[in-house]
Chains A and B, each alone.
Chain A
């Protein structure tokens, strides 16, 4: 039998000697690790749930839409309807730097309006949007079949439509509708693609109940001239969405003769602030998890340390005898260290395994795409970090008792006997 195994047998003997106390002590570490993983897992799940509801939408996306003026300006009375035009887009592209994607958008019947659509002999109400190919870069989607709008569709003003999964399901059930047609306001469009939204919750459902047709076709088919409903853009990675929003607003105000102080004339929204707040919230949650989890784990470790101190005190004469029989201080330290490592290691590992199992069970129960808990799970790096923390925790728990054990004078210990 190797000496290494022999030393572990010594540890086992000590652990076995005080079964109940050992179990209670290990319970603290187990609970600490279990809670740390649980909080981290559900924290991450919540974060994913929210991220999913955003569906990978760009964090620096800006939306600008036209409204009515509220201030008189250059002889024009307040209450004038502002109408963005196609020409605004190249102007924005030329005069505002830092823009990555810039697309015009228009919705039939106005914002969030549903239009009666006929498809496969059935009728239903859905959103109809005029969009450009680059919309995919602002509002990511997964093509279930076919394709999204392409530049040729725009150039040739093709009467094609890309429909959301919900639209396809309602009209065609499980049959792929690509190649079939839908009718909208008396105009027929050939379905060229079906998409799933990458967003979850209401936003995702709304997106999948949408029909996208080429923006140029939309303008011609529904006879709206060169009007643009709203403009969506994203900034380059280093550009601030807040700054872009302001620059675009100023430029559009200038182009449409709007008073510089007439805020209500142009509506706008940027996701940056919301994104920042979310990030700050999640950073807070992560910090909370780390602090609470660490302290729970630490309290378990302190428990182990205390119990080891008691054990060392109880074993004073034994340790003294071992020293007298040839144990070095280093061997005594290693002996206590091994005991702590076993207590913390076994309990922590059990907490880790059961914690992961619990999270998997929760995921199975709530579903991997639960909008609130959004796939609660622990990432591998957290497991690895927790494992390393356990080793340190074990060493930490053993440090004081081990030093105290090593400092035991054999003379004093044997006299105590």
Chain B
């Protein structure tokens, strides 16, 4: 599903360039769950951004579902983000002005899905994550765990092939974290590839594979 070869990424920094990813080679199979671990500054968030086409890369190659992601036009990468990828963020990133259903339906808006249809799909997805009765609640009316469920529903509503989760339980208590991870396990078992950036070993243990990054390089893999 994801194939990286010699992937390099650097940022301009103080007149020079700071290389964050230093020639990564990585192969993630369809339906696989992978945890990416590493200390702060190891490049794991940058890697997730590159995988999510939120950021570009300088060298190497990135194949997503056998499609080359190098120098992809902006419109195409937006389309892939909308249809192929799903994002789950540590701080949920829900729109406060919209209720849960509208938040879940947002990716479908950019796929030009008509309102009635996208609302129906969003409602169904909220049911799936156990929030069928919270559709008209604003994020401020939801608990942390519920917010993350809404975010997961939003990531799933487009039937993506890959879910990219950045510290999905970082803002949650332990019990809620396990609930969310149970949900993500279900997602992965439905055949969706799951890539999770985490600091927490118990989260990583639930993944089929764990990759360790240090200074922009993969230093270990379990």
Binding between chains A and B: yes
User: Chain A: residues with CB nearer than 8 A to chain B?
Assistant: 1-3, 6, 10, 13, 17, 317-318, 321-331, 409-411, 414, 417
Answer whether residue B107 sits at the interface, using C-beta atoms and an 8 A cutoff: yes
Partner of A325, one of B87, B114, B116: B87
How long is the Cα–Cα vector from A326 to B107 in the complex, in angstroms? 6
Q: Is the CB of B114 within 8 A of A331?
A: no
A325: chain B residues within 8 A (beta carbon): 81-82, 87, 106-107, 110, 154
Contact partner of A326 (CB less than 8 A), chosen from B49, B55, B82, B93, is B82
Interchain CB contact under 8 A, B97 and A327: no
> Which residue of the partner chain, among B78, B81, B95, B110, contacts A318 with CB atoms under 8 Å?
B95
Choose from B93, B107, B111, B114 the contact partner of A414 (Cβ within 8 Å): B93
Does B168 lie at the interface of the complex (its beta carbon under 8 Å from any beta carbon of A)?
no
A-B contact pairs, 5 of them (CB 8 A): A6-B115, A326-B78, A326-B158, A328-B75, A329-B78
Question: B114 and A326: CB pair below 8 A?
Answer: no
- Are A324 and B87 closer than 8 Å at their CB atoms? yes
Asked if B78 and A327 make an inter-chain contact with CB atoms under 8 angstroms apart, the answer reads yes
Please tell me if the beta carbons of B91 and A417 are within 8 angstroms of each other in the complex. Answer: yes
Residue interface bits B75-110, CB-to-A below 8 A is 1, else 0: 100110111000101010101010000000011011
Instruction: Let me know if B55 and A411 touch, CB within 8 A.
Output: yes
| B83, B109, B154 interface centre (most CB from chain A within 10 Å) | B109
The minimal Cβ–Cβ distance linking A323 to chain B, given in whole angstroms, is 7
User: Chain B: which residue is nearest A323 at the CB level?
Assistant: B78
- How distant is the Cα of A2 from the Cα of B114 in the complex, in angstroms? 7
Count CB-based A-B contacts (< 8 Å): 65
- Name B166's closest neighbour in chain A (CB-CB): A414
B142 at the interface (CB under 8 A from A): no
Q: Is the CB of A1 within 8 A of B82?
A: no
Return the chain A residue nearest B76 by Cβ: A328
B residues at A contact (CB < 8 Å): 49, 52, 54-55, 74-75, 78-79, 81-83, 87, 89, 91, 93, 95, 97, 106-107, 109-112, 114-116, 154, 158
Instruction: List the B side residues contacting A329 at CB < 8 Å.
Output: 74, 78
Besides A317-B93, A322-B110, A417-B93, 11 more A-B contacts (Cβ < 8 Å) are: A1-B116, A6-B109, A322-B106, A324-B81, A325-B82, A325-B106, A327-B78, A329-B78, A330-B75, A411-B49, A417-B91
Among residues of A, the one whose C-beta sits closest to the C-beta of B154 is A325
- In the bound assembly, the distance between CA atoms of A323 and B49 in angstroms comes to 13
Chain A residues, Cβ within 8 Å of B93: 317, 321, 324, 414, 417
Q: Which residues of B contact A13 (CB under 8 A)?
A: 97
Neighbour of B110 across the interface among A2, A331, A410, A414, CB < 8 A = A331
User: How distant is A400 from chain B, measured CB to nearest CB, in Å?
Assistant: 20
Given the contacts A17-B97, A323-B78, A325-B154, A1 and B115 also touching, CB distance less than 8 Å: yes
Q: Are B91 and A321 in contact (CB under 8 A)?
A: no
Report chain A residues within 8 Å CB of B49: 411
Give the shortest distance, in Å, between A412 (CB) and chain B (any CB): 10
Complex contact A326–B111 (CB within 8 A): yes
How far is B158's CA from A318's CA once the two chains are assembled, in angstroms? 19
B83 neighbours in A (Cβ, 8 Å):
326
Give which listed residue, B74, B106, B115, contacts A328 with CB less than 8 A. Answer: B74
Across-interface contacts of A1 in B (CB, < 8 A): 114-116
Closest B residue to A329 by beta carbon equals B74
Nearest to B55 among chain A residues (CB) is A411
- Whole-angstrom distance between the Cβ of A415 and the nearest chain B Cβ: 8
Which partner residue on chain B sits nearest A13 by CB separation?
Answer: B97
**Distance between A159 CB and nearest chain B CB, rounded to angstroms:** 87
Chain A residue with Cβ nearest B158: A326
A326 touches B79 (CB 8 A): yes
A13 to B99, CA, bound (A): 12
Most chain B beta-carbon neighbours within 10 Å: one of A1, A3, A411: A411
Residue with the greatest number of chain B CB neighbours at <10 A, chosen from A17, A325, A327: A325
Chain B: minimal CB distance from A195 (Å): 69
A104 CB to nearest B CB, Å: 82
In the complex, which residues of chain A have a beta carbon less than 8 angstroms from the beta carbon of B114? Answer: 1-3, 6
